[in-house]
Amino acid sequence: MPDLATPMLHRSIGALKPATTDCGNCRRVPLPGERMHELEKGRLLCDLCFGALPDEQRHAVESRRVGASERRLAVAPKAA
């Protein structure tokens, strides 16, 4: 019998959409737990690029943390 787990895993990973886009400056994909900052012009910057901006340009409209997954984790009772 062929191994079905590997093709199913590849298909499910390919179907996932990234929770956030990459940084508008360095094009780096942020890690889970890292913050992304949206500027007034709609541009997204990672923490590193946002921190490198001069003080007068460092005004974010919104800052949010990158999640580990696009889906919330289910909480199940512990098995007895």
User: With bands split at pLDDT 50, 70 and 90, how would you rate the model's confidence at 8?
Assistant: confident
What's the pTM value of the predicted model, to 2 decimals?
0.60
State the CB neighbour count (10 A cutoff) for residue 73: 8
When pLDDT is averaged across residues 58-64 and rounded to a whole number, the result is: 90
Sequence ranges of the domains in the chain: 22-67
pLDDT-above-90 percentage for the chain: 32
Here the tokens at position 14 are 């390919």
